Amino acid sequence: MNAFVKKINGIYQLKIPFERIYTSVFLMEAQEKNMLVDCGTTAEDVDTYIVPALKQKGYEISDIKSLILTHRHTDHAGGLGRVLALAPSIAVVTDACTLFVGISTYPLAGHTEDSIGVFDERTHTLITGDGLQGAGVDRYHCSVKDKSAYLETLERIKNDERVENLLLSHAYEPWNSDGVFGREQVLRCLEECRICFLQR
């Protein structure tokens, strides 16, 4: 069974099969205000992967207070209807706000106009969804809708010294990894994102 795997203190990743790759759902634990970031591709993903993985962690889906959607593409938001059918009290977050003390959404426009991430000040970790693309993944090559906004996003993160770790939703090329740890590696990742984008 797929399970939530600890990536950093208080943040867990669930990998859900998607085509030949996977998409990620993140669980953020925050003192009875637990949150999910994204919700899989289909209602079946919610029933087959998310609900059982939450139960394995000791949670019901009704224990989740907020669902943050990094953007509306199906592989990240396709399970929304099923989540709300199972737990209609979950607050759905799609824009800039403070979710909890030390946890807030983070603008990541570029991949889509409304792309957001989640920044956890406790661990200096930014969950990016598809906000950072590298060279893309599998058949999806560096998919950016707004070119100038994407470059601005890369520059903003570069200048935000709070960001020391990145958690990505897919194992993007050229790293074939979904996690970047340490400020030096974050800066290297951002530069590689810029180079990949300009060379595409």
- Sign of torsion over alpha carbons 124, 128, 131, 133: positive
> What pLDDT digit, counting tens, does each position of 13-38 carry?
999 999 999 999 999 998 778 999 99
Percent of all residues in the chain with a pLDDT value above 90, rounded to a whole number: 92
The answer to whether 134 touches 174, Cβ cutoff 8 Å, is yes
Residue 98: its pLDDT value, please? 84
Burial call 34-59: b when 16+ CB within 10 Å, e when fewer:
bbbbbbbbbbebbebbbbebbeeeeb
User: Cis peptide before 174, with omega less than 30 degrees from 0?
Assistant: yes
User: Does 1 score more than 70 pLDDT?
Assistant: no
CA distance 181 to 165: 5
To 5 degrees, how large is the angle CA 187–CA 113–CA 182? 15
54-72 pLDDT, tens digit each: 999 999 999 999 999 999 9
List, for residues 131-167, the tens digit of each pLDDT value. Answer: 999 999 999 999 999 999 999 999 999 999 999 999 9
- Whether the per-residue pLDDT at 112 is higher than 70: the answer is yes
pTM, entire model: 0.97
